[in-house]
């Protein structure tokens, strides 16, 4: 076998394994198809940062074909997330984004803000979901059946898709604030508490984007 043939064989084997992994990622969705028509995956990003909103995504994927390479957004490169975000937004039956800003987070706490963002994302789905797969939690005040899945963004295609669109949306949002609030490194850290960010917080004080309930240890 030539080197070219070896490379092609490796490429085909990688695709074969990915198809198997992808098919397994859809097993939770297949498991609900007998009782639900529109199964939404829900996930959030941004619970931990010192600044910016918490963002949730909700996605109803098509049942007639599987989107390859879906995974926990944290396990994907930025380039791959961007590519998949475009595919998801183009091919999903419906998708929605929910945003809860820092002032609201300070008012009701991050857990309740996360639930609020998830409900917002679900409310934007048309058609609405009749079953919800959600990463790790059960969302209060949601009337349709739910199935919480621990580490769901690595196990369910719909939850993985939701985690990807939420992360891409939030990353773009924080990058857009980098010029408005220079020195904090928002384009790089997306509001998370990196050394650079904490140092800027100590030296320059908080911005309007900072969560007052998160930064007491630093100022």
Average pLDDT of the chain is: 96
pLDDT of residue 106: 98
Is the per-residue pLDDT at 181 higher than 80? yes
pLDDT tens string 43-69: 999 999 999 999 999 999 999 999 999
CATH number of the domain that residue 13 is part of: 3.30.420.10
Q: Tell me if 211 is assigned to some domain.
A: no
Confidence of residue 196 (pLDDT cuts 50, 70, 90): very high
Is the per-residue pLDDT at 3 higher than 90? no
Q: Tell me if 103 is assigned to some domain.
A: yes
Q: Tell me if 191 is assigned to some domain.
A: no
Q: Tell me if 119 is assigned to some domain.
A: yes
Q: Tell me if 136 is assigned to some domain.
A: yes
Structure tokens given for 156: 């369910």
Is the per-residue pLDDT at 17 higher than 80? yes
Structural domain boundaries enclosing 155 = 3-168
Confidence of residue 198 (pLDDT cuts 50, 70, 90): very high
Is the per-residue pLDDT at 1 higher than 80? no
Q: Tell me if 97 is assigned to some domain.
A: yes
Say how many C-beta atoms besides its own lie within 10 A of residue 144's C-beta. Answer: 15
Is the per-residue pLDDT at 79 higher than 80? yes
How large a percentage of the chain has pLDDT more than 90?
92
DSSP per residue over 41-105, as a string? EEEEE-SS-SBS-EEEEEEE--SSS--TT---GGGS-HHHHHHHHHHHHHH-SEEEEEEE-HHHH
Q: What is the pTM of this model?
A: 0.94
Is the per-residue pLDDT at 32 higher than 90? yes
CA distance 175 to 185: 9
Q: Tell me if 196 is assigned to some domain.
A: no
Confidence of residue 219 (pLDDT cuts 50, 70, 90): confident
* Contacts by residues 137-146 (CB-CB < 8 Å, ≥ 24 positions apart): 139/42, 139/115, 140/115, 141/115, 142/118, 145/36
pLDDT tens string 126-165: 999 999 999 999 999 999 999 999 999 999 999 999 999 9
How large a percentage of the chain has pLDDT more than 70?
100
Domain count, the chain: 1
Q: Tell me if 57 is assigned to some domain.
A: yes
Is the per-residue pLDDT at 8 higher than 90? no
């Amino acid at each position: 076998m030539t080197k070219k043939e070896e490379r092609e064989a490796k490429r085909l084997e990688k695709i074969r394994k990915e198809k198997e992994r992808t098919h397994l990622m859809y097993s939770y969705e297949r498991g609900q198809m007998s009782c639900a028509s529109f199964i939404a995956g829900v996930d959030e990003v941004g619970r931990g940062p010192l600044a910016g909103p918490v963002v949730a995504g909700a996605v109803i994927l098509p049942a007639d074909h599987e989107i390859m390479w879906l995974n926990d957004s944290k396990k994907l490169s930025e380039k791959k997330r961007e590519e998949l975000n475009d595919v998801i937004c183009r091919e999903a039956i419906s998708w929605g984004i929910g945003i809860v800003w820092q002032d609201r987070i300070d008012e009701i706490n991050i857990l309740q803000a996360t639930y609020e963002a998830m409900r917002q994302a679900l409310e934007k789905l048309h058609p609405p979901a009749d079953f919800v797969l959600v990463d790790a939690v059960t969302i209060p005040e949601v009337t349709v059946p739910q199935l919480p899945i621990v580490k769901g963004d690595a196990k369910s295609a719909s939850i993985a898709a939701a985690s990807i669109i939420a992360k891409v949306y939030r990353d773009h949002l924080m990058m857009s604030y980098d010029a408005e609030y220079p020195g904090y490194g928002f384009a790089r850290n997306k509001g998370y508490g990196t050394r650079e960010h904490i140092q800027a917080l100590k030296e320059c004080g908080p911005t309007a984007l900072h969560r007052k309930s998160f930064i007491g240890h630093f100022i």
